[in-house]
């Protein structure tokens, strides 16, 4: 495949110079230590990025603490909301620049970045812009026998403080919005640590944040590796909360590192989501939905419906439909408007996915479609459908994070619910049926944070999102997210 870089001028400007940190409102380059970010379509270097150190984290925490106690604390809730709305407007106005940077850095098709990642990013900031004026407390009557006298008691919501936000590489801009928008709405300050594989949109976001009028130090961005910047943030005594999106393995490291000052931690981790098709489903819609559930974003989504369960009566039709859908996907250059799927993000991820495919073959899985590399440049993998799969196979039990779906047959409801729940993960799931009572009953039994019925990957900033079991702690989005970004204070005053 031939790949060219043709991006809007402002995006080209981001690529034209080393990418530095944003600390205290200033762009700070590394003295001498940089790392490359590469184009997964061809492996070529896109830009050099400042490699953060523990000292950079110290400076960012100091800047965030000063801003927390300074102008940000004095800004009214309404004013904070206006800043968030202005930030949304500026991101929307620069959709093309953000979309092109996201595409060349992650490998996702620019069309999808333009139609999915950017609108959702804007939606999140606009939704959260309405919350600063609504984080209210309540009055509480006191009537305990052991508390004689008259008292006036009330609660209030206050910001947690300095937040460390560590994000993954699959949806870099959108995940930044998921962290920043509620944290800022609640009055916190933030140190954002982008994934080292995909730092480009964070660099442009830093420019937009300043343009939107966010006070210096309220949002700081420190680039670097997880074992340096991420670990330093998680362990830092000046950080009050960590919000992390990434793998379950790294989530465990975050928890251990955060234990020193017992900082608050929320984790959005891995998944191996079950997508269940019953024999009374709309088979054409279910097959297309199951394919989209796993092949969207190259399969690099924590919610990917990577375990497909199909009732025996329609098994062959669904497998055929999913394989046909996979065959028709146009895999290509992320900047080609016709591309529907790009490469996986990196050489490391390419090797991981190809290793799983080899493991599947060795353990007895049948490749119904795909299973191979595309071309000899970049990290392109065919969308792959594996049948004859069973629990115990690595492709069934472990998160692949690539365009690979495993298909298993079932006969009755109890059987498939047991199989769906037989996972250490519990992030999401899907149910395809025309029986409304069955849809509700199965959704009720699935141990997953989100269950979609006759649909998949429907997101909205008002919907709580998070996982059961090893898929994480806490919830993102909606009203629920503010439990993670605020402290509740109780005040009691005698009235006589």
Q: For helices 95-106 and 118-129, what crossing angle results, to 10°?
A: 120
Q: d(Cα 242, Cα 189) in Å, to the nearest integer?
A: 12
263: its two tokens: 């900082």
268, 300, 399, 476: the active-site residue: 268
- Yes or no: say if 274 and 251 are a contact pair by the CB < 8 Å rule: no
Classified as helix, coil or strand, 8 is coil
DSSP string, 126-183: HHHHTSGGG----B-----TTS-S-EEEEEEEEE--EEEEE--SSSHHHHHHHHHHHH
- Which string of b and e fits 376-409 if b means at least 16 CB within 10 Å? eebbbbbbbbbbbbeeebebbbbbbbbbbbbbbb
Q: Alpha helix locations (H) across 296-412?
A: 315-328, 347-362, 394-397
Q: d(Cα 443, Cα 417) in Å, to the nearest integer?
A: 9
Pairing of strands 241-245, 162-166: parallel
- Yes or no: say if 194 and 37 are a contact pair by the CB < 8 Å rule: no
- Yes or no: say if 229 and 257 are a contact pair by the CB < 8 Å rule: no
Q: For helices 77-93 and 95-106, what crossing angle results, to 10°?
A: 70
196, 300, 302, 399: the active-site residue: 302
Q: Is 268 a catalytic residue?
A: yes
Rounded alpha-carbon distances, angstroms, from residue 210 to 27, 77, 220, 382? 11, 19, 11, 41
Place of tokens 């073959």: 361
> Which residues are the active-site residues?
268, 302
């Amino acid at each position: 495949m031939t790949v060219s870089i043709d991006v809007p001028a402002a995006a080209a400007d981001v690529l034209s110079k080393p990418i530095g940190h944003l600390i205290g409102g200033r762009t700070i380059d590394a003295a001498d230590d940089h790392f490359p970010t590469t184009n997964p379509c061809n492996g070529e270097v896109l830009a050099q990025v400042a490699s953060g150190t523990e000292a950079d984290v110290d400076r960012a925490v100091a800047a965030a603490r000063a801003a927390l106690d300074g102008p940000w604390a004095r800004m009214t809730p309404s004013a904070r909301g206006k800043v968030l709305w202005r930030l949304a407007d500026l991101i929307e106005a620069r959709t093309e620049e953000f979309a092109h940077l996201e595409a060349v850095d992650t490998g996702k098709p620019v069309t999808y970045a333009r139609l999915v990642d950017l609108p959702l990013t804007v939606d999140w900031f606009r939704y959260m812009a309405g919350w600063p004026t609504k984080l209210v407390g309540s009055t509480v009557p006191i009537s305990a026998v052991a508390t004689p006298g008259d008292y006036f008691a009330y609660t209030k919501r206050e910001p947690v403080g300095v937040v460390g936000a560590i994000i993954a590489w699959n949806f870099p801009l959108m995940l930044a919005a998921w962290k920043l928008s509620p944290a800022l709405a609640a009055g916190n300050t933030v140190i954002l640590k982008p994934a080292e594989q995909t730092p480009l949109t964070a660099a442009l976001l830093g420019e937009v944040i300043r343009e939107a009028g966010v006070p210096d130090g309220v949002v700081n961005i420190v680039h670097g590796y997880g074992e340096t910047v991420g670990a330093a943030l998680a362990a830092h005594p000046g950080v009050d909360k960590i919000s992390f999106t990434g793998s379950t393995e790294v989530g465990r490291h975050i928890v251990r590192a955060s234990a020193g000052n017992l900082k608050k931690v929320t984790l959005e981790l891995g998944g191996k989501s079950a997508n269940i098709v019953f024999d009374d489903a709309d088979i054409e819609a279910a097959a297309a939905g199951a394919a989209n559930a796993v092949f969207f974003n190259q399969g690099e989504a924590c919610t990917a419906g990577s375990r497909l369960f199909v009732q025996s009566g329609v098994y062959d039709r669904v497998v055929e439909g999913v394989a046909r859908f996979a065959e028709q996907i146009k895999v290509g250059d992320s900047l080609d408007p016709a591309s529907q799927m790009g490469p996986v993000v990196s050489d490391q991820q390419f090797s991981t996915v190809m290793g799983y495919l080899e493991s599947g073959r060795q353990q007895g899985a049948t490749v119904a479609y795909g299973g191979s590399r595309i071309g000899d440049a970049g990290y392109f993998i065919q969308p792959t459908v594996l049948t004859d799969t069973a629990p115990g196979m690595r492709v069934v039990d472990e998160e692949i994070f690539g365009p690979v779906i495993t298909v298993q047959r079932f006969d009755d409801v109890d059987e498939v619910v047991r199989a769906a729940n037989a996972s250490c993960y519990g992030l999401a799931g899907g149910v395809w049926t025309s029986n409304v009572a069955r849809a509700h009953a199965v959704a009720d039994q699935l141990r997953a944070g989100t269950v979609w019925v006759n649909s998949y990957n429907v997101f909205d900033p008002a919907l709580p999102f998070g996982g059961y079991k090893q898929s994480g702690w806490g919830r993102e989005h909606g009203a629920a997210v503010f439990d993670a970004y605020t402290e509740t204070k109780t005040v009691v005053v005698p009235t006589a």
